[in-house]
Each structure stands twice: as structure tokens, then as C-alpha cells.
Chain A
Amino acid sequence: MGAGPPAQRKAEGARDDARPLLSVRGLGVRFKTAQGIWQATRRIDFDVAPGERIGIVGESGCGKTITGLSILRLLPGNFAGLDGRILFDGTDLASCSARQMRAIRGKRIAMIFQEPMSALDPVFTVGHQIAETLRVHSDVSYEEARAKTLEMLRRVGIASPERRIDDYPHQLSGGMRQRVMIAASLICGPELLIADEPTTALDVTVQAQILELLRDISETSKTALMLITHDLGVVAETCTRMITMYAGEVIEDATVDEALVRPLHPYTSGLLRSLPHLSPRHGRLPSIPGRCRRLPRCRPAAASAPAARTQ
């Protein structure tokens, strides 16, 4: 294992004749750390077809969030460099200008995060924050923006939006805040929505509501969804294709059904087997060996690797 080519399978969903909406080729991201340059991700290849829903799964630290952030070029300050190409509808996001990026970010590609409370500004009403995206990207009047915001709030399932539009984030529950974030991300009608652990902070019954909403919106408005999560169940419920990442690389790319029925890569099957099962078994859960076993080149770091596994 190790240096060999990553196990890959051509997903049925990605037909060759249709031009992909997003095409990532050889993406790698580096960061500056106290120990020197750290290659967080490497050789990442995948496509997203228009309207397709793909899940990116893996544990914390595997690079799935970094991959999402690099598509929008929202990388943190210690960012040291990026290789490869990120083709979005013909534009290479890896090399386009900041101005071009700003025109795409929020308008054609939107992103939502795990913790809606930290993504929302506590001193502005939710209506103001949703309409802001719209006002930045298009020339609309105040009334128009407000009307569109109301419609969007209704669409994401917020009861009595006329009352909620002037609420501040602290007046809403966690589930409603995430609905507000979804409303803000969708108001410009993006072609791709990147959702990074959008339901991890929510209760399971609220999670079911939000996942249903995301699936529904993706189907009705043909928005492609890139769902980043550690939860294979969430991917199985929402997506048609699943990309598994491990230690900064894509190790499996298959339809959800294929990946769940016949996981190709031992890590994917390990991840599946390590899940506690809903039906009581009381057996032992198989554990997954640490990352350095798969990547011999990491061996010098083996002593500190366990600490690096959880951020």
C-alpha cells in the first residue's frame, strides 16, 4: 500500500458526455507550520456534474474541509501554496483573480458551515444578513431584496417568515439558524452548494429536517451539492456519490451504493465496520489502525501522530 495509486472507481453518476460543473485535478494544499511546510492534501481528482449530490467523507484531519475551502479560496492565513486546477464551468479557480473569485463566491458557489451561530453576525437581523448576499451580487432595491428574502425564508421552511425576518440570530433555535444559513447561501441561486458538516451540531430529528430540505432544494433548483461530513449515514441519505478521503488523499470515489455494498478500499470498509450498530449486538467494534501504517513516508512522525489525529 502506501505509495501505490489510490483505489478509484469511475462513478456511474458522472457520465463522460456531460461536461462537469466542477472538475478538480491534482489539487494539493500546503500550509506553513512551526515544523516547516505541511502538505495537507495532495493529488485530489474528482468531478461534480450539474445538479449532482456528492458526499466527501473521512475523519477529522483527513483534508475534507480544506478541500471545500480551497474551492472557494477561503484558506486560513498560514496557507503556503496550492497545486493543481479547480475548473468551475471553464474558469480555473486556482489561478483566477481575486475579483473573479469574488464574483463567483456567494453567487455561483455558496458554502454553509457546521456552526450557524458563528457564521451569523449577532448584531444584524437575519433578514439583513440574507439580503446582504443578494445586494452584493446584484443591483436590487431594498424592497425587492426584502421580498426575495421573505420568499427564501419560506422556502427553507421557516414558519411565519414575516415575523422571523427581523429577528436576531440569538432569538432562533439551532435548527432555524441553519435554515437561515441555507437561505442566505441559496438566495443568489448558486449552481454549487458546499455544505461542511451542516447537521453535525443539530439533534437527530432536526438533522432529518435539514437533510430533507437540502435534498429537496437540490432536486427542485438543480443545485449541485457537495456535502462534507464524517457521517456515512448522512451521505447515504442525501448523496448519490461518495468520495472517501484519508490522510489528505482521495482513496475511493464511487456511487454511494457501490461504496456501501462493496467498499473497495480497506479504509472505507474499516470505517463502515467501526460504526456502532443500531441493533444491539454487544460485540467488539473493530478499530482502525492509525494513519501512519498506511503511509510509510509518515513514519518519522509516528510518535506524534496520535496527537495529530484529533484537532
Chain B
Amino acid sequence: MTVATSEPRRDAIVSVRDLQVRFQTSDRRATVKAVDGVNFDVRRGETFGIIGESGSGKTTIGRALVFLLKPSAGAILHDGIDPLALSRGQFQHHRRDYQIIFQDPNAALNPRMTILASVLEPLELARIGDRAARERQAREALERVGLPQEFGERYPHQLSGGQKQRVVIARALTLKPKLIVCDEVVAALDMSIRGDVLNLFADLQRDLGLTYVFITHDLAVVSHISERVAVMYLGQFVELGPTEEVAERPLHPYTIALLSAEPRPLPSSMRQESRIVLQGEVPSPIDPPSGCRFRTRCPHAQPLCAERVPEWRELEPDHWVACHFADRPNFSSHESAGEMP
């Protein structure tokens, strides 16, 4: 096996080993391998980004990390503990520390509950303190996310999208989690509001020592907020490394194509011409290509790529990649990704 399946690091708050999540199609005739053999550690206090296009399995990983989905195979350890080995009561208590925030705050908030009631609910379910203490904590959480006192009495429809997302963040904070999985949390927000909410996430991390797993399709967002980033394609990680390394010296041809596809607000004088437009579309996760899954769209594919699954290897310190040819010179970064502005 590869080195990735070794013992979890000391500072790992989450350790994922050979994670697989499979779904039956509705006619039960086929199996979708949404996540198919993923290994990584999330380190305490960091922001771990996962990027990928729709259908890559990034949301499935996010849901599995907080056990909203049960892994079909493999293990997810929280702080060295396997939550599935806990008793029901212990498990319920345990999962308070691992929260998730979704993309659409409209779907996450009950339109008939006031903001304060929504934020209070987790505290009530967890039976923390008395009524007055709970209300104090909920109001503190609202204040922490930058919402004025009087918002507690309002209803979701009276708030803007950015304000609603702040409420959802406040609600996740009430139980003082260690880790928050953020699944496309700014995707539904306008550009200018997006910046404010990302700033809020950074402030909360600094003040509360939170760990984030930030799942997004937006390269700019992930590279702004994360220390390390993983790139997903068709149920697997193709690359994982420090954000700066991945953004400036990508090793996998898919990462290179993804970076070059991102439209950038640059004037023509600063634009390089070597943009790679991938042909075709992502194959079906029901019947993924043999060998390397990216080979059907890879501009560098060789016969070997169809025969052998590329090994997940640490090509540079802390920088992992799954590609047979990633270490060949004249292959990648310089010809395409170019310099970042």
C-alpha cells in the first residue's frame, strides 16, 4: 500500500483512510461510486479545501466527514476515535463537535421560526444550561457573526442572503464545535457579500481556534481561505498539497486544466495565451474509465494510463499526486498554469 494509509499524524483532527461511499441507482441495477478510495488528514486549526466540479464527490465526502452518510468502506476517525464504535448516546454527544454548513441558507432556516429560535434550537436539543443561559449564548453567537441584537426577533424572509448565512454560521457555533465542514457556503452569495462572509470565517477561526473543511467549486475562494487544498475528480483525489504549491506549481494535468479554465479579470496585456480547454465531459461514476480516471480527457494520456491506476504518491514534501507522469519534466506547470498575478 502507499504511504498515505500510514498512522494518522499527531495533529490530525480528522483522519480519512481509504474512504468509499457508494449509492445504488434508483432502479438498483448499478452502483455509483461517489467516493472511491480517498485518504487524507485534516490538521487541527487549519482550513482544508476540497475543490472539484459537480459530481466529483466532494459534497459526499463532506457529509461523510460528519456522519450524515455512512461510509461504505474505509474509516473516518475524529481525533483518533471511530465515532461509529460509540454508543448511541456517546455518538450524539460526540457529533456536536463536528458541524456542517450548507450552501443554501434558505433551505437551512425554518421560515416560521424567528432567527433567535433557530439559533436556540441546537442548545435546546443538547439541553445545555437553563433557558436564560441558552438565550444568552444564542445572542452572543448572533453578535459574534456581526448581526445586531434586534435580528433575533426577525424571520428569515426579512434578511438578505448574506445575513441568513451569518445566522446559519451562528447556529453552528452555539455548540462550540471543533471542526466545521463548509459546503459551498458562499456560492449562493453575491460577489461583494462573499468577501464579507469569507472574512467572518477567517475571524472566527482566529478567535475560536476552529478547523474548517472548505468544499467548493470556486478556485479563487478555496485558494483564498485554505492552507492546503485537495483536487477531486470522479470520486478520487488527484492532487493534494499546500494551496500555494497547488496553485502555482500544479502537478496533475486536471489541476492544470482547472486552473487555466478559471476566467480571470485580467486585461489582455497580462493574459497568457496557453489556456487549456478540456474536451468532452466528466464520465459517469457508475462506470468510470479503467486505470487513471482522467485519461479520457487528459491531453497527455498514454497507453499505460488505461492499464494501471496511478499511485497516490508524495512527489514533493506534503504535495501528493495521482498521475503516472507528474514527475516528468516538460510536462506541466510551466507550459500552462504560468505565473499567478
Contacts and interface: CB of A to CB of B under 8 A. Distances in A.
Interface stretch (B130-138, B168-176, B190-198, B301-309): B190-198
Given A278-B247, A284-B199, A233 B192 contact: no
Interface string B177-205: 00000000000011111111011001000
B262 A310 contact: no
Interface string A297-311: 000000000111110
B275 A208 contact: yes
A278 B268 contact: no
A276 B158 contact: no
B190 A230 contact: yes
B81 interface: no
8 contacts: A59-B192, A207-B263, A231-B263, A257-B268, A277-B220, A285-B224, A309-B162, A309-B190
A205 B192 contact: no
Interface string A210-241: 01100000000000000000111111111000
B224 A204 contact: no
Contacts of A279: 223, 244, 247-248, 340-341
A175 interface: yes
Interface string A146-185: 0000000000000100000000000001111000000000
Nearest to A259: B267
B128 interface: no
Contacts of B199: 284-285, 287
Contacts of B265: 232-233, 235-236, 260, 272, 275
B161 to A, nearest CB: 4
Categorize the interface residue count of chain B: 35 or more
Contacts of B219: 204, 278
A276 B202 CA distance: 13
Contacts of B341: 277-279
Contacts of A207: 261, 263
Nearest to A235: B265
Given A230-B190, A276-B195, A276-B225, 11 more contacts: A175-B281, A204-B217, A205-B258, A208-B261, A233-B263, A236-B271, A278-B220, A279-B244, A279-B340, A285-B196, A309-B161
B119 to A, nearest CB: 19
B54 A278 contact: no
B221 interface: yes
Contact of A276 (B161, B194, B275, B340): B194
A274 B266 contact: no
Contacts of A60: 190
A278 B190 contact: no
B263 A237 contact: yes
Q: Which of B189, B191, B257, B340 has the most CB of A within 10 A?
A: B191
B15 interface: no
A278 B190 CA distance: 18
B243 interface: yes
A285 B189 CA distance: 15
A208 B297 CA distance: 14
Contacts of A188: none
B278 interface: yes
Contact of A274 (B192, B218, B226): B192
Contacts of B198: 276, 285
B150 to A, nearest CB: 11
A157 B53 CA distance: 21
Contacts of A261: 267
A7 interface: no
Interface in B12-67: 53-54
B160 interface: yes
Contacts of B192: 59, 270-271, 274, 287-288
A25 B218 CA distance: 37
B191 A59 contact: yes
A270 to B, nearest CB: 7
Nearest to B55: A203
Nearest to A159: B280
Contacts of A208: 260-261, 263, 275, 277-278
Contact of B278 (A159, A174, A176, A205): A205
Contacts of A195: none
Interface string A31-54: 000000000000000000000000
A156 B73 CA distance: 42
B87 interface: no
Given A59-B192, A275-B220, A204 B162 contact: no
A308 B159 CA distance: 9
B163 interface: yes
B328 interface: no
Closest 6 interchain pairs by CB? A285-B195, A233-B263, A276-B224, A310-B161, A232-B265, A203-B53
Contacts of A176: 281
B261 A280 contact: no
Contacts of A309: 160-162, 190, 193
